[in-house]
Amino acid sequence: MSQQILANLLLIVINAFWGLSYVFMKIGLGSLQAFNIVGLRFLLAFFIAGILFFKRLMLVTKKVIISSLMLGILLFGVFTFITFGVSMTSASNAGFLVSLTVIFVPLINCILVRRFPSWQIIIGLIFILSGIGLLTLKNSLAVNYGDFLCIIGALLYAVFIMLTGKFTKEDDPLTLGILQLGVAGILAMICSFLFETPSLPSSLDSWIAILGLGILCSAVGFIGQTFAQKFTTPTHTGLIFALEPIFAAVFAVLFLREIFTLRDIVGCSLIILGIVIAQVNTETLSKLKCKYKNL
């Protein structure tokens, strides 16, 4: 099994954690404010990862610090825009618009390299966009200020993915992943002290939510992402992120007792099909054609 396939599988597991994060967020928001939750989850992840990999942090360089600052600021910006966007629009609109990251990543990549995306990517994106629409759009899509903030959040996340792919090729991905969590957490807690009344979780459920967000969704999630992106492409990363709403829907059914309709099943199927189509590159098709001719 190639390193790229292993990296893609790791990204799928990470997206499962991020799908579960919606359940944790819903529980946490019952007693904690938005910036407070973002700050606690990232600082918890930073301290856990920092303790486990303390020796790696001792070898940090100025270049890694600068890269981590850039990624941490972007990470904080992503969660800020999405959080406030969700507060001003419906959950279905927000889920659809944030998932536009899978569209923005290949488009940004094509702009940077000055070429059109391959036909596999284009067809895959059409299926993915259709699937996300079926899975998340329950009402009519009306653009408002909250929708606009979610679009900005999706665009920032696409930039974050692109920069992570670049920096992990040049710097130590583990150190980079740990430090970016610290930067995002500090910025969020500063905003919490300025605009909210920060506090620690006051119930078992809220502690479970913060620990889940901090350990699984942040520490494992974002550090794992930096490792995985060292061995895969930004386009594949963005496409795999389309699985997040599928996992979110499954966990919502399991833990929040939400109804999973036929429309949701069709949406999930379209997303998976789109990812498979987009992952089949020209080289793979050529090998299949050669094998077919030799039969």
Going by pLDDT thresholds of 50, 70 and 90, the confidence category of residue 279 is low
pLDDT in tens, 97-140: 777 787 788 778 888 888 887 788 888 888 888 888 887 776 66
Does 284 have pLDDT greater than 60? no
> What would the mean pLDDT of 193-216 be, rounded to a whole number?
91
Residue type, 64: V
DSSP label at 229?
Answer: T
pLDDT above 60: residue 281 = no
Residue 99: CA count within 13 A, CB half-sphere? 31
> Angle between the 145-170 and 91-98 helix axes, to the nearest 10 degrees?
30
Angle between helices 173-195 and 221-228 (to 10 degrees): 140
- Percent of the chain exceeding pLDDT 90 equals 20
Is residue 288's pLDDT more than 70?
Answer: no
pLDDT score recorded for residue 237: 73
Residue 291 pLDDT grade (very low, low, confident, very high; cuts 50, 70, 90): very low
Task: Give the helix ranges, DSSP H, for 89-233.
Answer: 91-98, 101-113, 119-136, 145-170, 173-195, 204-211, 221-228
pLDDT in tens, 219-278: 888 778 777 877 887 667 767 877 877 888 788 888 877 777 788 888 888 887 887 787
C-alpha closest to that of 164 among 76, 83, 240, 75: 75
- Per-residue pLDDT tens digits for 155-185: 998 899 888 888 878 888 888 888 999 999 9
Segment 73-101 shows an average pLDDT of: 78
Name the residue among 67, 94, 66, 65 with its Cα closest to residue 81: 94
* Structure confidence by residue, pLDDT tens digits, 20-45: 887 888 788 888 888 998 899 999 99
pLDDT at residue number 285: 43
Indicate whether 83 pLDDT > 80: no
**pLDDT score, position 192:** 95
Q: Contact 253/135 with Cβ under 8 angstroms?
A: no
pLDDT level of residue 280 (50, 70, 90 thresholds): low
Mean pLDDT, rounded, for 129-155: 77
- Rg of the chain over Cα atoms, rounded to whole angstroms, equals 19
Coil, helix or strand at residue 138 = coil
- Is the torsion defined by CA of 177, 180, 186, 189 positive or negative? negative
Residues 90 and 151: their CA atoms lie apart, in Å, by: 14
Contact 212, 59 (CB under 8 A): no
Do 184 and 15 contact (CB within 8 A), yes or no?
no
131 neighbors 267 (Cβ within 8 angstroms)? yes
Q: What is the average per-residue pLDDT within 74-90?
A: 82
The 3-state DSSP class for residue 31 equals coil
